[in-house]
Structure 1
Amino acid sequence: MPCSSCHVQSFGPGLTSVGRNFKLNGYTATGANYNEGKVPPVPISGMIRASYTHTQHGQPGGASERFGSNDNGTIDEAAIFLAGRLHSKVGAFIEGTYNGIEDIGELDNSEIRFADNVTLMGKNLVYGLTVNNNPTVTDLWNTTPTWGFPWASSDLAPTQAAGALIEALGGQVVGATAYMMLNDLLYVEAGGYTMLPRNIQTGIGVFDDEQSRINGGAPYWRVALQKDWQGHYFAVGSFGMQANVYPQRTLGAGTDKIYDYGFDMTYQYLANLTHIYEFNVAYIREQRDMNASVALGLADRKNSNLDTLRVRAGYTYQQTYGLNLFYGQTTGTADSVIYSFGDPISGSRTGNPNSQAFTAEISYTPFGKSTSAIATLANLRLAAQYVHHFKFNGGIHNYDGFGRNAVNNDTLYLNAWLAF
């Protein structure tokens, strides 16, 4: 099938109803080519993404190890996927990635699913189980942290210091959830996650010695309602997790208690594929009881919160030309230890996590439609993205105490993304 069957803009995580149902049913759907033996029995695919990054002001000392202060070109990542049907009721999405920024191999977003369906009181019920390595990787909508916009962004540009726990656990955990979709209307998912041992994290290239470590298990949940009215698709939902964590993996002072809960909304207009419109909103609130961090001198406030808001509007013409406008905002309780002063660019002079940014992106996807001669073989997405920072790490001017302004982190990001 051409990429445009499952992907709204012919490329990327934004899914159509076909794409959502393919994932919901465990990646097990097949077509005539499969039954005729024309498709390889092992569903292997790949991708490579290359980019150029320019920030308004360079980063003294280099944007990252092995890179200069500005105007950096790189291969962001190259990946191999095992993605599709493994058995009549079992499928997988497993991604092995070469990280070109850090020059390491990683086990990236991955899950294995079992899915089936029954008729319940005259209504279709799809149910399943998934084992995966990232909270929200199982999600059917492009609003939650794993698959939310921007789908590609620069790892060589400064990023804000504050972020919710649910956004920072990818690859470091393993979890299992059970889910169901009733009558193509109500979706419910629940399960939990626990931390992978340090030697396994190191082996798959995801170990971070400053990342908090989950103590025991962390419950996760997701609910959503969806409805399609003659090409007008709506979905609203909520998601969250709770975890007791050892701050920076330090034992001996108990744990911090982290509560993350979010709300999201999706609208898609797909009645006329010449003009596709999308609108997404996601909000995450994190409440923190930092008892252990305060005892260890890693925070100066016992109780705090962090709020993240993301809003995206998208337009696609002929499933080829895309425009995305995105606003992101983070606000929360000031803490001079967590958001500390002392580091140029990444520090905060005020100890405040507040950041605001606007992103505009244009893209061109020439090969992803059914009319393309190579639609089922390869796809390419070319994009230009500009990020403007209104506020960064708690300030507009001299936010880090070393004279850097928020706009100095404004970023032009050009990227080419090839899938095959």
Structure 2
Amino acid sequence: MEHGTASAYSWVRPGTPRFFFHLAAWLIAAASLFAGEAQALPLFARQTGQNCVACHAGGQFPALTPYGRIFKLTGYTIGVRNPIPLSVMIQAGMTKVANKTNGSLLDPNGSGGNGAMPNDNYPRDGLFTVSQASLFAGGKITDNLGLFAQWTLDPYSQQNGQGKWVSHTASDQFDLRYADRLINPGRDLIVGVSLNNNIGTTDVWNTFNNPFQMVPSPIGPASLQANVFTGPQYSPMLTQGNLNAGLNAYAFWNNTVYAEVGLYRNANGIYSIMSQGVSSDNTTTLKGYNPYWRLALNHDWGANSAMIGLHGLNARVYSDPTNASSPLIRNDDVGIDGQFQHILDPHTFSAQFSYTRERQRYDNALWDPNNPAYTGSYANSSNTIDLLKLNATYIYLAKYGASLSYVSSQGSKDAILYAANPITGSANNRPGTRVWIPEVFWTPIQYVRIGFQYYKYTQFMGGSTAYDGVSSRSAKDNDLTFLYLWAAY
């Protein structure tokens, strides 16, 4: 019953949150099926007849211009439906970690003897890698209904027992919207509903739950967390983009006041299309329906626009994603964010910030040694994690650009959660990580981007030197250079 299987519908009664969630989701899905010629899902540029710079600041995804925000809020329906239904994208690049051998920790011969970790923690280091290929479907279905959907192939998903790479495909982004725009001389009101699969993916300012610029993720250590070398390991749930099913309602009044509320649950049962290819142990398993909210004040004038906003999430998460009876973690997230844009040909400048705090509270079995079901997962009954993100980007002629980002993740002390451990552990039992990310990029033609990033860590897992409590490894040993190519058609 808890996971919304088909057998659960017999006891659902009108007036409950579950009933309205299912009803609205089915209405949206049914509208898409009976819209007529629903298979005609064009690329957005073909649909609108616009260049990429119309929707994306300086032509760089995912930063949206004021026009791009309206396009998304009105359900991707501006323009004329085009018979070309699909788009493809490829991301490739090469990474180089500053130090992958640190004598006292890693065995340069890759044997892993004496407790050392073998070199296969960096299996693609220094090698050109096609990191991702995606298939998109999206655009106008009817005058009020539109879709953005992405299916992604990861060529280096994992290594099998013989050390060979195994590819994997899975659902990525999904955002099906029904929207309407009500305009008269004194009012411009956009209202809409979104069925989506990522907490925060509905946000049109992309400040707290996405990278500020579209950059393919570097290939990190295969046996470690995928994001070890692309920023902090620990961050609030609201900023992670987990694959869950959400139903959101929103309104944007006079291009000034924005409000959105949503409920998120597991993407299984009738919602499983939004998590196809993703195993349960690689998802965040939620209990019931979990509220998300977003408020923002926006102002556009001349070539400028500015926004200040608030965001929040309250989520109940099973500590074991494969066991719906495991102890719960309660994540309470709240944050503030803002953006400024100046777009006047040939110059584009944008600046963003976001600060999100999460308080995690744990069932007794996760932290209390006196509990008969004690799992030893945490040393505290609750912890906090704070994520700060800053970015400034300049683009000239929609071709040449540079950006500088700063990311800081800080949290409370926990001797079990942040225990000493090779590379990813902490000597002082704290998650504190700070990284500077300068980037330069070039867009020689529309839909092709070449860029270079450098990840400069000044702190990693609570320290700058001997930070992991096991070796003499320094934060700067995790510095990363990243050369990448992004192309779409």
For the criterion TM > 0.5, the same-fold answer is yes
Q: CA deviation at 1:208?
A: 5.5
CA distance in 1 between counterparts of 2:58 and 2:386 reads 29
Structure 1 residues not aligned, in runs of 5+: 369-378
Structure 2 residues not aligned, in runs of 5+: 1-49, 107-117, 158-166, 222-227, 368-373
Q: Is the 8 A contact 1:253 1:296 kept in 2?
A: no
CA distance in 1 between counterparts of 2:182 and 2:206 reads 27
Q: Is the 8 A contact 1:314 1:324 kept in 2?
A: yes
Q: CA deviation at 1:251?
A: 5.5
Q: Choose from 457, 461, 479 the match for 1:393.
A: 461
Match of 1:178 in 2: 249
Match of 1:266 in 2: 339
Q: CA deviation at 1:12?
A: 1.3
Instruction: Return the letter of the residue paired with 2:431.
Output: P
Q: For the structure 1 residues 150 and 352, does the alpha-carbon distance in structure 2 shift closer, same or farther, using more than 3 Å as the test?
A: farther
Match of 1:87 in 2: 142
Q: Choose from 65, 74, 89 the match for 1:16.
A: 65
Q: Choose from 425, 439, 451 the match for 1:361.
A: 439
| 2:398 is the counterpart of 1:319 | yes
Match of 2:169 in 1: 105
Partner SS, residue 301 of structure 1: coil
| 2:222 is the counterpart of 1:144 | no
Instruction: Return the letter of the residue paired with 1:385.
Output: Q
1:27-46 to 2 correspondence within 5 Å?
27-31=76-80, 34=81, 39-40=82-83, 42-46=84-88
CA distance in 2 between counterparts of 1:139 and 1:290 reads 29
Instruction: Return the letter of the residue paired with 1:12.
Output: F
Q: CA deviation at 1:111?
A: 0.7
Q: Is the 8 A contact 1:143 1:282 kept in 2?
A: yes
Q: Is the 8 A contact 1:43 1:85 kept in 2?
A: no
RMSD: 2.2
1:16-415 to 2 correspondence within 5 Å?
16-31=65-80, 34=81, 39-40=82-83, 42-58=84-100, 61-62=118-119, 68=123, 70-102=125-157, 103-119=167-183, 122-149=186-213, 151-156=215-220, 158-159=228-229, 160-171=232-243, 173-197=244-268, 200=272, 204-207=276-279, 209=281, 212-249=284-321, 250=323, 254-270=327-343, 272-292=344-364, 293-294=366-367, 295-342=374-421, 344-368=422-446, 379-400=447-468, 401-415=470-484
Partner SS, residue 281 of structure 2: coil
Q: Is the 8 A contact 1:321 1:365 kept in 2?
A: yes
Q: CA deviation at 1:55?
A: 0.9
CA distance in 1 between counterparts of 2:440 and 2:87 reads 26
Q: For the structure 1 residues 212 and 351, does the alpha-carbon distance in structure 2 shift closer, same or farther, using more than 3 Å as the test?
A: farther
Q: How many residues align?
A: 398
CA distance in 2 between counterparts of 1:357 and 1:324 reads 14
Taking structure 1 as the reference length, the TM-score comes to 0.89
Deviates more, 1:244-253 or 1:46-55: 244-253
Q: For the structure 1 residues 315 and 58, does the alpha-carbon distance in structure 2 shift closer, same or farther, using more than 3 Å as the test?
A: same
Q: CA deviation at 1:148?
A: 3.6
CA distance in 2 between counterparts of 1:153 and 1:140 reads 21
Q: For the structure 1 residues 23 and 393, does the alpha-carbon distance in structure 2 shift closer, same or farther, using more than 3 Å as the test?
A: same
> Could you report, residue by residue, the CA deviation over 1:217-251 in whole angstroms, capped at 9, with x for unpaired residues?
11001111111111121011111110112213355
Which structure's residues are more often strand, by fraction? 1
Partner SS, residue 23 of structure 1: helix
Deviates more, 1:215-224 or 1:202-211: 202-211
Instruction: Return the letter of the residue paired with 2:236.
Output: A
Instruction: Return the letter of the residue paired with 1:52.
Output: M
> Could you report, residue by residue, the CA deviation over 1:96-117 in whole angstroms, capped at 9, with x for unpaired residues?
0001331210100111000112
Taking structure 2 as the reference length, the TM-score comes to 0.77
Q: For the structure 1 residues 391 and 214, does the alpha-carbon distance in structure 2 shift closer, same or farther, using more than 3 Å as the test?
A: same
Partner SS, residue 199 of structure 2: coil
Q: Is the 8 A contact 2:358 2:386 kept in 1?
A: yes
Instruction: Return the letter of the residue paired with 2:386.
Output: D
CA distance in 2 between counterparts of 1:232 and 1:7 reads 14
Q: Is the 8 A contact 1:58 1:69 kept in 2?
A: no
Q: For the structure 1 residues 120 and 348, does the alpha-carbon distance in structure 2 shift closer, same or farther, using more than 3 Å as the test?
A: farther
CA distance in 1 between counterparts of 2:280 and 2:471 reads 27
Q: Is the 8 A contact 1:63 1:70 kept in 2?
A: no
Match of 1:376 in 2: none
Q: Is the 8 A contact 2:174 2:274 kept in 1?
A: no
Q: Is the 8 A contact 1:312 1:325 kept in 2?
A: yes
User: Which has the larger Rg?
Assistant: 2
Instruction: Return the letter of the residue paired with 2:429.
Output: G
Q: CA deviation at 1:121?
A: 8.6
Q: For the structure 1 residues 63 and 137, does the alpha-carbon distance in structure 2 shift closer, same or farther, using more than 3 Å as the test?
A: farther
Sequence identity of aligned pairs in percent?
28
